[in-house]
A and B are shown apart, each in its own frame.
Chain A
Amino acid sequence: MTETSLSQPFVGPAAGRAPLRLLAVCIGFAALVAAPMFFYPIFVMKILCFALFASAFNLLLGYTGLLSFGHAAFFGGAAYVTAHAVKVWGFPPELAVLAGVLGAIVIGAVIGFLAIRRQGIYFAMITLALSQMFYFFCLQAPFTGGEDGIQGVQRGKLLGFIDLGQTMNMYYFVLGIFLLGIFAIWRIVNSPFGAILKSIRENETRAISLGLSVNAYKLSAFVMSAAIAGLAGSTKALIFQFATLTDVTWQMSGEVILMTLMGGIGTLLGPVVGAGLVVTLQNVLATSEFPVTVITGATFMLCVLTFRRGIVGEIEAAIVRWKRR
């Protein structure tokens, strides 16, 4: 604990680290721009997609304190809407993604409205139950293609002239969406609204006593998280050119929790690192005879037992400890 002087600026102690952060952001951006030259672009795009999905989930769990067990409904639901919009309605990719996000917002508003009245494990169970209902809807609805899903979705031309059929064009489109989504999350977390969310997470009863209608704030955060998860799902439908039941299963909801916890909840980079780790494990072990889920599960257990704050969470805590010395 350090003494603070009266002359210290109100913006707080973080102000002095701004140039260092800017440098880190620039290096990260450069690495992402160059990544497809060193790695298989589809693999990196998949990581970016799941990183955005996990970050959207983290907005709810890490910054609002709500554990949703049904985020696959937004991710997979948006993928279906985007795939349908391209294939049946002939939408261009940018509008198809937008339609997917709007679909996720609608699903998020309905599930959120019903679930937000309960807390803790009851909230998680309601989101799980409603997302399972959505899974069965997707299984039975005529336009989703049942167990086959919607296949052969054309990527189309962005703004009418950028051919997303070319992998590198598609990569930079996905990168743009990823950065936009991450920026949106960063903005929400570091905004007046984000400060209110933090207060609700820290002490909900106190927040109510200060006149805050906490359910309205929670529902707003829920819908925002659903929208960004939907953005990730829509993008995934365009990358892989299909939307299937896999994306709306409860296992997908579980996977995103795993990614977020492994990376570190409540940190901006944690879910990105967690998603990178899980997707890489899945990719590397895809050809192995050993079941991927066992390895992922074991890694998760190792993470929880050895560093509970997650990878990025532990690194951040170590930096704080080092600075306090």
Chain B
Amino acid sequence: MTVAVLPFGDAHVEKPRAVLSARGLSKTFGGFQAVRNVDLDVHHARVHALIGPNGAGKTTVFNLLTKFIPSTAGTISLDGADITRTAPAKVARMGLVRSFQISATFPQMTLLENVRVALQRPNGQAVQFWRSLGSLRNLDRQALELLERVGLQDMRHRLASDLSYGRKRALEIATTLALDPRVLLLDEPLAGMGQEDVSVMAGLISEVAKDRAVLMVEHNLKVVSEICHDVTVLQRGEILTTGDYETVSNDPRVRAAYMGNEDA
């Protein structure tokens, strides 16, 4: 793990480097300002939660960071490289990989094929139109290991469309992990999961964050309090506050934003 030594008062503390940074990020749809002047640093080996009420602009921030929609203003950098104008597929190849709010799988492909497709490009096996599908068998072991990590190995020959919503989310995470990303962006990864699966998945997110940065949008505040090192609260497209869960949750502005009552 590379760390930058930053001055903090008189003492020197080690703070993990910011892998993904955004400065002054803004997005306007017509006359509506969906995201306004967002500054964000996502650090290596830390889980960063992006929370806020519905319509706060969390998914829009995700889409801006992963370049799925162009920003109106601001800059984004990944490991120091400016990616503000980089194409989304290239951003993914650079190691910034996301999941989607509505589970994104390949429905008419088996679970094994879903994960294997993600493994094909990094392994240089995406363009061979003259070879048989059997040539992809060397990826099966790795694909199966990833399915095992999310507990889906026994269903590997089933179609993704046959899975329950929660399991589709698990499959999506396995597919995302197949790219071994430097930064993992998870959009509501625990939505639709049963309580048992939530604990398993939260554990998995903590584990994978040991050697990569994770930014997640999540409504389950219990999980956020348990696994997230940093929390950023968005409201009406603007950052309300950033800090650890304890600090953020005691902020009266955050309470007001969630309760809809200034006196809360």
B-contacting residues of A (Cβ < 8 Å)?
Answer: 1, 3-4, 6, 8, 10-13, 187-188, 190-196, 198-199, 202-203, 205-214, 220, 224
Chain A residues, Cβ within 8 Å of B89? 208, 211-214
Chain A residues, Cβ within 8 Å of B110? 12
Chain A residues, Cβ within 8 Å of B118? 210
Chain A residues, Cβ within 8 Å of B135? 192
Return A8 CB to nearest CB of chain B, in Å. Answer: 6
A-contacting residues of B (Cβ < 8 Å)?
Answer: 66, 68, 87-90, 92-93, 97-100, 104-110, 112-113, 116-118, 120-122, 125-137, 140, 144, 153-158, 162, 175, 179
Contact B108 A191 (CB under 8 A): no
Contact A192 B158 (CB under 8 A): no
Chain A residues, Cβ within 8 Å of B66? 209
Check A187/B130 contact, CB under 8 A, given A1-B162, A6-B154, A206-B105.
yes
For A13, A194, A205, A209, the residue with the greatest tally of chain B CB atoms inside 10 Å of its CB is: A209
Q: 4 new A-B pairs (CB below 8 Å) besides A191-B131, A196-B126, A202-B108?
A: A193-B127, A206-B105, A210-B92, A213-B87
Contact B158 A1 (CB under 8 A): yes
Contact A198 B109 (CB under 8 A): yes
Classify the interface of chain A: helix, strand, loop or mixed: helix
Say which residue of A4, A198, A209 sits within 8 Å of B98 (CB atoms): A209
Complex A-B: 12 CB contacts under 8 Å:
A1-B162, A6-B154, A8-B157, A192-B133, A198-B109, A199-B109, A203-B105, A206-B100, A206-B105, A210-B92, A210-B97, A212-B126
Chain B residues, Cβ within 8 Å of A10? 112, 137, 140, 144
Please name the residue on chain B nearest to A266 by beta carbon: B108
Contact B97 A13 (CB under 8 A): no
Return B64 CB to nearest CB of chain A, in Å. Answer: 14
Please name the residue on chain B nearest to A193 by beta carbon: B129
Please name the residue on chain A nearest to B135 by beta carbon: A192
For B90, B93, B129, B153, the residue with the greatest tally of chain A CB atoms inside 10 Å of its CB is: B129
